[in-house]
Amino acid sequence: MKKLNNITSKGIFVEDPITDHFGRTFNYVRIAVNEYCNLRCIYCMPEEGVPFQKKDRHLVKDEIFTIIKLMEEMGVSKVRFTGGEPLIRKDIIDLIQFVYKKTDIPSIHLTTNGVLLPDYIDRLVDSGLNGINISLDTLNNEKFKKITRREGLDKVLEGLHLAINSEIKSIKVNIVAMKDFNDDEILDFVELTRDNDITVRFIELMPFDSHQIWKTGKFYKAEKIVNQLKSSFNQLDLVNGSSTEHHIFKIKNYKGKVAVIPSYTRSLCGGCNRIRITADGKLLNCLYSQKETNIRDAIRSGIPENKIKNLIRGAMQKKLKDGWTAQNEGKDQRESMTQIGG
């Protein structure tokens, strides 16, 4: 009998989906399309940037197409473009259109800091994108400059407004929760869900920057946010969300949803369905993994596609039980989330 795991969301039977030893199936790929960024968020990149790799190490458009096609053949039904800032990659619209027009992958998403959204929104709508996650940690202009080391809050808010009023169905706002920085804005962000059908998601700070600002007492635990929400709203309904949205609520009579993601405390690994591809074409089987598999060089060497598929399957098979085990596996290699894509 066919296993349910082998049926994609379009009802297509996949002979041999990507799985691991712990019974997880991987049907969601996140591709970082560059390392560069127009902001310098203090928890992500130092002011001077990170040692960016030479351009020829980055995946080119055709290599990204190849990866997406192979992934689709192995049952992947969701693609997210991230970075760095994906909207500063010149061919971002071509990448989205490729998934929309040349594959049957039903779910195409983008994670952006939102600064360029006002310039891109029409083209994003036309390209077939289904969802945009906008990263925005504060609604206060001075704090925005402090956290991103750049101007741009007005652009992000304009972009958010345009996205909400566009045909793109799923709009989420990602907030990295930080003690004594934006813990006093949690309820302001929740208010955005009163009249807008969006999801506001509070995410734990993670140890992914060379300056290790997460060690400076800014960490704010998911559980604390959940408790704050519970004590502020007595009519909080539990609703369904994506696999990482461990706590997801709807406030009575509000249009949108509120989610809390324990990305550092990592109580979400059992349901992980993600494959990560870095801007330089390495596959990571876990956000916290210290080991990478070089898909870029495999493609560039011209080996047959079934061998590349086996490489991908093999790397995912080796996924460790959870992010804690993966982190303990070895020394940190990457200096910034901008190289991984979040």
Secondary structure of residue 9 in the 3-state scheme: coil
Size, binding site for ligand SAM by CB under 6 A: 21
Give the one entry of ligand SAM, ligand SF4, none that residue 209 binds, where binding means its C-beta sits below a cut-off of 5 to 8 angstroms depending on kind.
Answer: ligand SAM
Q: Is 280 in the site for ligand SAM (CB under 6 A)?
A: no
Among 131, 124, 8, CA closest to 72 = 8
Contact characters 126-165, ligand SAM, x per CB under 6 A: ---------x------------------------------
Site for ligand SAM in 168-197 (CB under 6 A): 174, 176
Residue 205 binds ligand SF4 (CB under 6 A) = no
Position 293 contacts ligand SAM (CB under 6 A): no
Burial class (CB in 10 A: 0-12, 13-18, 19+), 190: buried
Q: Which does 45 bind (CB under 5 to 8 A by kind): ligand SAM, ligand SF4, none?
A: ligand SF4
* Nearest partner of 134 among 101, 166, 163, judged by Cα: 163
209 binds ligand SF4 (CB under 6 A): no
Strand pairing class (293-294; 78-82):
unpaired
Per CB under 6 A, contacts with ligand SAM among 217-276 are none
Question: Are 146 and 184 contacting, i.e. CB atoms less than 8 angstroms apart?
Answer: no
Task: State the nearest-atom distance from the C-beta of 197 to ligand SF4, in Å.
Answer: 25
* Alpha-carbon distance values, 334 to 40, 115, 170 (Å): 16, 25, 30
Taking CB under 6 A as the criterion, which residues in 4-43 touch ligand SAM? 37, 43
**Residues 63, 296 contacting (CB under 8 angstroms):** yes
- Are residues 317 and 310 in contact, defined by beta-carbon separation less than 8 angstroms? no
Smallest gap from Cβ 85 to ligand SF4, in A, equals 5
- Residue pair 71/29 in contact (Cβ under 8 Å)? The answer is yes
Q: Does 340 bind ligand SF4 (CB under 6 A)?
A: no
Q: Which of 124, 205, 229, 284 binds ligand SAM (CB under 6 A)?
A: 205
Binding-site member from 7, 40, 145, 211 for ligand SF4 (CB under 6 A):
40
Q: Which is nearer to ligand SAM, 323 or 342 (CB)?
A: 342
- Residue 208 interface partner, choices ligand SAM, ligand SF4, none, CB cut-off 5-8 Å depending on type: ligand SAM
Nearest residue to ligand SAM on Cβ basis: 342
What's the DSSP call for residue 234?
A: S
Angle (deg, nearest 10), helices 153-164 and 141-148:
100
* Window 78-117: residues binding ligand SF4 (CB under 6 A): 83-85, 113
Cβ nearer to ligand SF4, comparing 35 with 72: 35
**Contacts of 338 by beta carbon, 8 Å cutoff, 6+ apart:** 32, 35, 36, 37, 44, 45, 50, 83, 84
Which segments of the chain does DSSP mark as H helices, in order?
A: 61-73, 92-102, 117-127, 141-148, 153-164, 186-195, 222-232, 295-300, 305-317, 323-327
Residues that bind ligand SF4 (CB under 6 A): 37, 39-41, 44-45, 83-85, 113, 135, 337-338
**Contact residues for ligand SAM (CB under 6 A)?**
37, 43-44, 82-83, 85, 111-113, 135, 174, 176, 203, 205-206, 208-209, 337-338, 341-342
